[in-house]
């Protein structure tokens, strides 16, 4: 029974992955720095959260990724990343 449950879960995971779309980040200043974020998660995260976040929220999120999760992002790039995300995916867009 455990084998069947494991196989069923694996099949569901594969089906979900097959339906995942590829998000292409908007071409704008700072996109190269945002690519560092994609080392840990997909760009879908940006789209999922964009309708809720302004620059202050993006700044807090990037800092959380660095401080809590050890994201490989230079502290000097936080403002550039937050500005890119707010300008291209912020609550006003």
CA 93, CA 88: separation in Å to the nearest integer? 7
Enumerate residues 6+ apart whose C-beta is below 8 A from 66.
73, 75, 78
pTM of the complete model: 0.73
The pLDDT tens digits along the chain (93 residues) read: 556 555 555 555 555 554 555 788 999 999 999 999 998 888 998 988 888 899 999 999 999 999 999 999 999 999 999 999 999 998 865
Q: Is the dihedral of CA 78, 81, 84, 86 positive or negative?
A: negative
In a domain, 10, yes or no: no
In a domain, 65, yes or no: yes
Q: How many folded domains does the chain comprise?
A: 1
In a domain, 11, yes or no: no
10 Å CB burial of residue 27 (0-12, 13-18, 19+) is: exposed
In a domain, 45, yes or no: yes
- Domain with 52, as residue range(s), is 22-89
In a domain, 2, yes or no: no
In a domain, 49, yes or no: yes
In a domain, 8, yes or no: no
- How crowded is residue 63: how many other Cβ atoms within 10 Å of its Cβ? 15
In a domain, 51, yes or no: yes
Backbone φ, ψ for residue 70 (5° rounding): 70, 30
Enumerate residues 6+ apart whose C-beta is below 8 A from 58.
81, 82, 85, 86, 90
CATH number of the domain within which 30 lies: 1.10.760.10
């Amino acid at each position: 029974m455990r084998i069947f449950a494991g196989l069923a879960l694996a099949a569901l995971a594969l089906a979900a992955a097959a339906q995942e779309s590829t998000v292409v980040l908007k071409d704008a200043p700072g996109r190269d720095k945002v690519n560092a974020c994609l080392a840990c998660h997909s760009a879908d995260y940006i789209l999922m959260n964009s309708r809720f976040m302004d620059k202050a929220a993006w700044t807090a999120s990037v800092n959380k990724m660095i401080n809590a999760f050890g994201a490989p992002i230079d502290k000097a790039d936080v403002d550039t990343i937050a500005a890119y995300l707010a300008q291209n995916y912020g609550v006003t867009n």
